[in-house]
């Protein structure tokens, strides 16, 4: 007969391997058997409790390390994936930024041309400055999302609460229409020309066009 079974305790003949699952269950069995024996005059052998707790602690510790390593691997993967997505998306935003910057440069160049025309001593240049400004206004309204076949149609769809210079836009656009319809017959004074361009300028500054 196996001496470990006969005596009720394992014979310690070498190092105990606490990771042996069969050994852990054997310790649990011995603890339960000892507690049943306590009712018949026997007592629980506390010598079994310490190795059992030690073995369970080692198993729990190893399990905790494995879980921690799993979370660490997940964190590393998520971080690498996030950087990969950022690298894929970054060129798109850079392209959008470049396009916006190029648009701003074009608008600034167009407005500089308008300023050159309005500072001229020629009435025809003033007319051209107003017409050019209205074209810029039309493009701006389109970019802001206002639909219509003409500047007037787009201005009628504007929310006054989001367009503080709406009245100035209307006044400037009316002068442009008078010029377009009456041509050289429309009496354009230097005062009216400068005031009209000032209206356009205020509108453009409100919406970041210049």
Tens digit of each residue's pLDDT (9 = 90 or more) over 23-49: 666 666 666 665 554 444 444 455 656
The whole domain housing 41 covers 3-72
Q: How confident is the model at residue 50 (pLDDT cuts 50, 70, 90)?
A: low
Co-location of 135 and 192 in the same domain: yes
Q: Examine the fold and report which residue of 72, 104, 131 is the final residue of a domain before the chain moves on.
A: 72
Report yes or no on 190 lying in a domain. yes
User: Could you tell me if residue 89 is inside a domain?
Assistant: no
Element (DSSP H or E) covering residue 123: helix 123-143
Rounded Cα distance, 139 and 146, in Å: 10
Inside any domain, residue 179: yes
DSSP secondary structure, 48-112, as one string:
GHHHHHHHHHHHHHHHHHHHHHHHHHHHHHHHHHHHHHHHHHHHHHHHHHHHHHHHHHHHHHHHH
| 59-105 pLDDT tens trace | 888 989 999 999 999 999 888 888 888 777 666 655 555 555 555 56
Query: Does a structural domain hold residue 197?
Result: yes
CB 111 within 8 A of CB 204: yes
For the stretch 106-129, pLDDT in tens is 567 889 999 999 999 999 999 999
Our count of domains for the chain comes to 2
What mean pLDDT value characterizes the chain?
79
User: What would you measure as the largest C-alpha separation in the chain, in angstroms?
Assistant: 128
């Amino acid at each position: 007969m196996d001496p470990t079974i006969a005596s009720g305790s394992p014979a310690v003949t070498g190092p105990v391997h606490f990771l042996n699952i069969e050994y852990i269950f054997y310790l649990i069995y011995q603890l339960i058997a000892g507690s049943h024996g306590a009712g018949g005059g026997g007592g629980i052998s506390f010598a079994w409790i310490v190795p059992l707790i030690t073995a369970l602690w080692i198993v729990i510790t190893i399990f905790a390390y494995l879980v921690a390593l799993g979370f660490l691997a997940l964190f590393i993967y998520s971080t690498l994936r996030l950087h990969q997505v950022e690298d894929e998306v970054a060129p798109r935003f850079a392209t959008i930024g470049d396009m916006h910057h190029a648009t701003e440069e074009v608008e600034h160049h167009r407005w500089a041309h308008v300023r050159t025309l309005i500072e001229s001593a020629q009435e025809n240049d003033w007319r051209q400055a107003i017409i050019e400004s209205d074209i810029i206004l039309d493009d701006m309204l389109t970019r802001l999302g206002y639909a219509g076949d003409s500047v007037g149609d787009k201005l009628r769809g504007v929310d006054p609460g989001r367009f503080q210079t709406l009245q100035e836009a209307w006044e400037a656009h009316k002068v442009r229409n008078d010029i377009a319809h009456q041509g050289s017959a429309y009496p354009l004074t230097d005062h009216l020309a400068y005031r009209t361009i000032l209206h356009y300028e205020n509108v453009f500054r409100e919406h970041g066009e210049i």
